[in-house]
Amino acid sequence: MIDAAEYLLLVSDELTHAVAANRHRDHLEVALDRRVPHARAVATQVKYLARALDKLPAYAAAQCILPPRAFEQASSERCAVHKSIGGDSVLDLTCGLGVDAWALSRRFRRVVTLERDEGLARIARENFRRLNIDNVEVEATSAEEYLAGCRERFDWVYADPDRRAADGRKLVRLEDCSPRVLDLLPAIRRVAGRLCLKNSPLFDVDEALRLFPDCRVEVVSLDGECKEVVICDDGTGPSVTATALGDPDRSFTARPDAAVPQPGSFDPARYGWLTVPDAALQKARLTRQHLAGRADVWSDGGFGFSVERPEGAIGKVWAIESIEPYDPRSLKRACKGCGATILKRDFPLPVEEIMRRTGLHAGDDVRLAFTRIEGRFWTIRLK
């Protein structure tokens, strides 16, 4: 909770000017500098504005106010602007720092966003002022209270439920998150015909389709790390999309029940290329569908193997030097003292245990991949 006194300090000219004057410094140095007024509060803003340069560059450029917990829970701008919903009006049930509402303001004429913490709601309004956003209305109320009294219609309802328990534990099940969107569905359906729901990267794709049978599910990764599972319940599904945000952005969409033929027996002598599927493909369980006809894949959690380099694959592609049965003693003799980059899929040992058994350490002398196919363990040496 952000009380009135803290809010007034954060928006004061004195603190704003002190933050601007010290943004080039290390935040720990600022915190200990007795010449800086409200040094600890200034240092906190300096710290999070520095972190925002990558995660929230527009917020950093506008020197927005960044409360630590709200910053940690906020979407990155890259993920927020990727959401493709649009229309005349949208109701955002979960404002927080306001990053999603900021992104939605570019696709909707009017955005109404809800924040039950009065202090955080006031900060969101101030940040939208600094960002020159004038089509977002911040209501200091809960989703439950607002929906109970709402008499207007929106094109979409958007929600990114809080996935932190009171004791700090991470939550995954929708039933445990706040607000409880499943309990609010009748009220949501009354005010809008379409719902966009952002979930944890741990949220299961099959669970999304079970709860919303006609939805579109999109798994989004950023620079190879899975970030969110987004449900668009607008009756245009069912479908599953894996999107890898990077340079360039890549996407693949398929029906969740599409059949893919199983490849034949694994013949290590055939293959010259290894595909490491992007995290979004793996999470969406679309690896085999995406690589069908370009690479042999024995499971959606595994690598792709191909004779020729697979063009257009969403993931990293490496040339294979050799494929051999996994033999830690042989590897220990052959790679004694080497630093290794290790990749693994469908392999039971953690990277640390592989290194311990093979005598390897982190480095870039060799690049090795480990996997299990048809019950056998394999080591792939990459060029």
- For residue 167, is pLDDT > 70? no
User: Would you state the pLDDT for residue 285?
Assistant: 95
Among candidates 368, 379, 383, which has minimal Cα distance to 268? Answer: 379
Q: What average pLDDT does range 175-204 have in this prediction?
A: 94
Signed CA dihedral, 114, 116, 122, 123: sign only: negative
Share of the chain above pLDDT 70, in %: 99
**What's the burial of 28, exposed, middle or buried (CB within 10 Å: 0-12/13-18/19+)?**
exposed
Confidence of residue 124 (pLDDT cuts 50, 70, 90): very high
- For residue 111, is pLDDT > 90? yes
Residue with tokens 């063009």: 311
- For residue 169, is pLDDT > 90? no
Among candidates 314, 305, 219, which has minimal Cα distance to 266? Answer: 305
Q: What CATH fold (topology level) applies to the domain 4-67?
A: Arc Repressor Mutant, subunit A (1.10.10)
User: Would you state the pLDDT for residue 166?
Assistant: 67
Task: For residue range 191-214, list pLDDT tens digits in order.
Answer: 999 999 999 999 999 999 999 999
Alpha helix (H) residue ranges in the chain: 4-11, 13-22, 27-31, 39-55, 57-61, 68-73, 77-82, 99-104, 118-130, 143-149, 181-191, 205-211, 279-284, 287-291, 328-334, 351-358
User: Would you state the pLDDT for residue 258?
Assistant: 87
Q: Are strands 216-222 and 239-245 parallel, antiparallel or unpaired?
A: parallel
Same fold, 4-67 and 72-254: no
Q: What average pLDDT does range 305-319 have in this prediction?
A: 96
Query: What average pLDDT is seen over the chain?
Result: 95
CA distances from 316 to 228, 279, 371 (A): 21, 11, 16
Residue with tokens 């939208």: 128
Task: For residue range 12-71, list pLDDT tens digits in order.
Answer: 999 999 999 999 999 999 999 999 999 999 999 999 999 999 999 999 999 999 999 999
Q: Hey, where are the domains in the chain? A: 4-67, 72-254, 268-382
* CATH architecture for segment(s) 72-254: 3-Layer(aba) Sandwich (3.40)
Confidence of residue 173 (pLDDT cuts 50, 70, 90): confident
